[in-house]
Chain A
Amino acid sequence: MSISWWCTAISEPWSWAFRAYPGVWLTVAALAGTYLWSVRRNRAVESHSRRQTIFFMAGVAVFWLASDWPLGTLGAGYLASAHMVQYILYVLVAAPLLWLGTPEWMARRVLAATGIYRTGRSLRRFPLVMGVTFNATLVLSHTPIAVDALRASQFGSFAMDAIWLLSGLALWAPIVGSVSEFRERSYPARMVYLFFASGIVTIIPASFLTFAKLPLYQTYELAPRVFGLTAIDDQQIAGLIMKLATVPIVWPVLAAMMYRWATSEQASA
């Protein structure tokens, strides 16, 4: 069995032989363990629901699924399409679940301890800054130079995964973030924010991937081919995933917000 700290690009042909990534396991254990320890330690004085635990653990599980073998291995060194599935899972699934599972008191303590709370409060247009941060990360982290440089090493690959998750947390903070003063107050504002922040800029890198005539990423072009996919087919699939993944994830959220808005308007009428 092959063991390495974090998934990275390797030159061996793809096989379904299990590969162990203790760094992923430790990160997952640290996230889940710290959460449970903190909840248990503060349960006498702070509110916390079972539902939040389920959301948080689901978020951790999605993070694990995206980072570990086999998806992590495929995404780090074989398929741009797997790399994109990882990205979508981190940003559009794990990040909102982690927010939904984090009690407000816990989020406040973490954000205060890291200085993020003070920075966030100092921002006049918090959602705008979060949207720009998310989209800048999206574009920069998908440039060939970034992907090829970061995927070449375990640390770089870890950094890329971490940056993606953090950018996802930034994207969702104004929607489902645990700190009330960072959330957009009205449903229309939330819907507009989510629509523009998650769905517009994405089209640019997605289009480059879908319509490029040649493979953009050296990492995947020079990797042993997997599942009979050519490098360009794989890249086009990656572009389509990036472009279309928001549809089944973001649009239902928008629909749910629309429904809640309508319901709240009815109730107040």
Chain B
Amino acid sequence: MTFVGHLFVRFLLIAGLAFALGACAGAGVPLAGQLAGVAIESPTQKPSFTLTDTDGHAFDFSEETAGRLTFLYFGYTNCPDICPVHLAQLKEVFDRLPDVRRNSTVVFVTVDPERDSPEVIRSFLDAFRVDFVGLTGSLQELETAQIAAGVPKALREGSGDDYTMGHAGQVLVYAPDGLGYSVYPFGTRQSDWMHDLPILLQRTGS
């Protein structure tokens, strides 16, 4: 190989390495200071659990949402305030960010399986977007999912048919690289979502 040929091969190797490093840059690196959401110091791994979707099929959370911007929220359909507002906010933000919407999966996990049948969950979610995924399971399975996601277990408050559920109020968001960089508590404005989602969508980790 000539001297020029050596140089060319070296150039290709360096350029390839630089490209690979550039593409991976950012994966797993905290985004504190760059996000409007509550940043997580050490990005968390997307949890693994399997529940049942509203069609009655098994839904492996980490597998089904792999490579997508994923929103995980534990709530219940009789929730008077936080749950419907979070979902309405996401729906309205998605309406304005079609690219984010196409690459996202919103997963709503009920913490009230007693009242939230698959049909009830479906009807509740369809009021926002028909592609929002609703999951349910046994109490044990739902508790396992909450533990896996690192949120406190939901607790029943009150008695009779009119009880409420005390549950985690934040939306957990996982970038396409499978890591959670920030969480979004109740009170997150649409401006915050609009700012953060395009940034998170770039975290592909490839």
Contact = CB atoms under 8 A, between A and B. Distances in A.
Q: Main SS of the interface on chain B?
A: helix
Contact of B190 (A11, A12, A224, A231): A231
Contact of B80 (A13, A214, A221, A222): A13
B80 A11 contact: yes
B10 interface: no
Given A12-B81, A13-B80, A224-B81, A231 B92 contact: yes
Nearest to A215: B190
Interface string A200-232: 000000000000011100100111110000111
Nearest to A232: B92
B96 interface: yes
B81 A11 contact: yes
Interface string A144-178: 00000000000000000000000000000000000
Interface string B158-201: 00000000000000000000000000001101110010000000
Interface string A9-39: 0011100000000000000000000000000
A218 B189 contact: yes
A55 B80 CA distance: 42
Contact of B84 (A214, A215, A225): A225
Contacts, number: 42
Nearest to B192: A214
Contacts of B95: 230
Interface in B33-71: none
Given A11-B80, A231-B190, A222 B92 contact: no
Interface in B71-123: 80-81, 84-85, 88-89, 91-92, 95-96
A213 B190 CA distance: 10
Nearest to B188: A222
A51 B190 CA distance: 51
Interface string A54-68: 000000000000000
Q: Main SS of the interface on chain A?
A: loop
B85 A224 contact: yes
B199 to A, nearest CB: 17
Interface residues on A, range: 10 to 19
B165 to A, nearest CB: 15
B80 A230 contact: no
Contacts of B189: 214-215, 218, 221-222
Nearest to A10: B81
B125 to A, nearest CB: 14
B85 A214 contact: no
A221 B95 CA distance: 15
Given A12-B80, A213-B96, A230-B92, A222 B194 contact: no
B191 A223 contact: no
The residue among A218, A221, A232 with the most chain B CB atoms within 10 A of its own CB is A221
Contacts of B85: 222-225
B76 to A, nearest CB: 13
B84 A224 contact: yes
Contacts of B96: 213
A209 to B, nearest CB: 15
A11 B189 CA distance: 16
Nearest to B190: A214
Contacts of A215: 189-190
A124 B191 CA distance: 46
19 contacts: A11-B81, A12-B80, A13-B80, A214-B189, A214-B194, A218-B187, A221-B190, A222-B85, A222-B89, A222-B186, A222-B187, A224-B80, A224-B81, A225-B84, A231-B89, A231-B92, A231-B190, A232-B92, A232-B190
Interface of B: 80-81, 84-85, 88-89, 91-92, 95-96, 186-187, 189-191, 194
Given A224-B80, A231-B92, 17 more contacts: A12-B81, A13-B80, A13-B81, A13-B84, A213-B96, A222-B85, A222-B89, A222-B187, A222-B189, A224-B81, A224-B84, A225-B84, A225-B85, A225-B88, A230-B92, A230-B95, A231-B89
| Interface pairs A-B: 9 shortest CB-CB | A11-B81, A230-B92, A225-B88, A214-B191, A214-B190, A13-B80, A12-B80, A224-B84, A222-B85
